[in-house]
Amino acid sequence: MHSVECRNTFFLLFLLRNAKLLLSLQVIDHYENPRNVGSLPKSDPNVGTGVVGAPACGDVMKLQILVNEETGEIQEVKFKTFGCGSAIASSSFATEKIKGMKVWDAKGVKNTDIAKELSLPPVKLHCSMLAEDAIKSAVKDWETKRAARLGGKAAPLPGQPKDEVHV
Amino acid sequence: MNRLSAVLRRLPCTSPLRHFATGAAKASVANTRPIYLDMQATSPTDPRVLDAMLPLMTWEHGNPHSRTHQYGWEAEKSVEVAREQIAKLIGAADPKEIIFTSGATEANNTAIKGVARFYKSTKKHIITTQTEHKCVLDSCRVLQDEGFDVTYLPVKQNGLIDLEQLEAAIRPDTALVSIMTVNNEIGVIQPIAEIGALCRSKKVFFHTDAAQALGKIPLNVNDMNIDLMSLSGHKVYGPRGIGALYVRRRPRVRLEPLITGGGQERGLRSGTVPAGLCVGFGEACRVAQEELEYDSKRIKMLSNRLIEGITSKVTHVIRNGDPVASYPGCVNLSFAYVEGESLLMALKDIALSSGSACTSASLEPSYVLRAIGADDETAHSSIRFGIGRFTTVEEIDFVVQRVVERVGRLREMSPLWEMVQDGIDLKTIQWTQH
Q: Is residue A122 part of a domain?
A: yes
**pLDDT tens digit sequence for B225-261:** 999 999 999 999 999 999 999 999 999 999 999 999 9
DSSP at B98: E
Are A39 and B418 within 8 A, CB to CB?
yes
Which residue range(s) make up the domain with A86? 22-138
What torsion do the CA atoms of B205, B206, B207, B210 make, to the nearest 10 degrees?
-160
Identify which of A56, A37, A83 has the alpha carbon closest to the alpha carbon of residue B343. A83
The C-alpha R_g of chain B, in whole angstroms, comes to: 23
Q: What pLDDT score was predicted for residue B317?
A: 95
pLDDT above 90 for B159: yes
**pLDDT tens digit sequence for B108-149:** 999 999 999 999 999 999 999 999 999 999 999 999 999 999
Please identify which of the residues A6, A54, A57, A167 carries the catalytic annotation: A57
Are B339 and A83 within 8 A, CB to CB?
yes
The C-alpha R_g of chain A, in whole angstroms, comes to: 18
Judging by DSSP bridges, how do beta strands B174-178 and B125-129 pair with one another? parallel
- Choose the closest CB to B433 out of A54, A82, A123: A54
Q: Mean pLDDT throughout B313-332?
A: 95
Spatial neighbors of B120 by CB under 8 A, at least 6 apart, are B146, B148, B175
Number of domains composing chain A: 1
Whole-prediction pTM value?
Answer: 0.86
- What amino acid is encoded at B286 in this protein? R
Task: Kindly provide the b/e burial profile for residues B354-392, where b requires at least 16 CB atoms within 10 angstroms of the residue's own CB.
Answer: bbbbbbeeebbbbebbebbebbbbbbbbbbbbbbbbebe
Are A39 and B432 within 8 A, CB to CB?
no
Identify the architecture of domain B292-416 in CATH.
Alpha-Beta Complex (3.90)
| Minimal C-alpha gap between A159 and chain B (Å) | 33
Q: How far is CA B142 from CA A84, B135, B149, B371, in A?
A: 34, 11, 11, 21
Q: What pLDDT score was predicted for residue A13?
A: 52
Please identify which of the residues A74, A120, A127, A157 carries the catalytic annotation: A127
- Choose the closest CB to A85 out of B342, B349, B356: B342
**Residue B380 · residue B356 · CB < 8 Å:** yes
DSSP, collapsed to helix, strand or coil, labels residue B346 as helix
| Minimal C-alpha gap between B337 and chain A (Å) | 7
Q: How many beta-carbon pairs below 8 A join chains A and B?
A: 106
Are A21 and B359 within 8 A, CB to CB?
yes
pLDDT above 90 for B407: yes
Q: Is residue A9 part of a domain?
A: no
Judging by DSSP bridges, how do beta strands A59-67 and A47-54 pair with one another? antiparallel
Q: Which helix (H) or strand (E) holds A63?
A: strand A59-67
| Minimal C-alpha gap between A45 and chain B (Å) | 20
B326: phi then psi, degrees, rounded to nearest 5: -150, 160
Q: Taking chain A (167 residues) in consecutive chunks of 10 residues, what is each chunk's mean pLDDT?
A: 52 50 78 92 93 88 93 94 91 94 91 90 88 94 89 70 58
- What amino acid is encoded at B162 in this protein? D
Are A58 and B416 within 8 A, CB to CB?
no
CATH no. of B48-287: 3.40.640.10
Spatial neighbors of A49 by CB under 8 A, at least 6 apart, are A40, A42, A62, A63, A64, A138, A141
Q: Is residue A15 part of a domain?
A: no
- Choose the closest CB to B416 out of A82, A88, A133: A82
A109: phi then psi, degrees, rounded to nearest 5: -65, 125
Which residue is closest to B339 within chain A, CA to CA?
A83
Domain ranges in chain B with CATH number 3.90.1150.10: 292-416
Question: What distance in Å separates the CA atoms of residue A54 and residue B434, rounded to the nearest whole number?
Answer: 7
Q: Is residue A158 part of a domain?
A: no
Domain ranges in chain B with CATH number 3.40.640.10: 48-287
**pLDDT tens digit sequence for B364-393:** 678 999 999 988 778 888 999 999 999 999
DSSP, collapsed to helix, strand or coil, labels residue B100 as strand
Counts for chain B of helices (H) and strands (E), in that order: 15, 13
DSSP, collapsed to helix, strand or coil, labels residue A65 as strand
A127 included as an active-site residue: yes
- Choose the closest CB to A84 out of B358, B412, B426: B358
**pLDDT tens digit sequence for B5-41:** 555 555 554 444 544 544 444 444 446 789 999 999 9
**Residue A94 · residue A78 · CB < 8 Å:** no
pLDDT above 50 for B358: no
A81: phi then psi, degrees, rounded to nearest 5: -135, 135
| Minimal C-alpha gap between B57 and chain A (Å) | 29
Question: What's A105's domain CATH number?
Answer: 3.90.1010.10
Q: Is residue A62 part of a domain?
A: yes
B-interface mutation test, from A36, A82, A95, most B Cβ less than 10 A away: A82
DSSP at B161: P
Which residue is closest to B359 within chain A, CA to CA?
A19
Judging by DSSP bridges, how do beta strands B228-232 and B174-178 pair with one another? unpaired
Which residue is closest to A10 within chain B, CA to CA?
B33
Catalytic residues of B: 358
**Residue B206 · residue B177 · CB < 8 Å:** yes
Q: Is residue A10 part of a domain?
A: no
DSSP at B432: B
Q: Is residue A157 part of a domain?
A: no
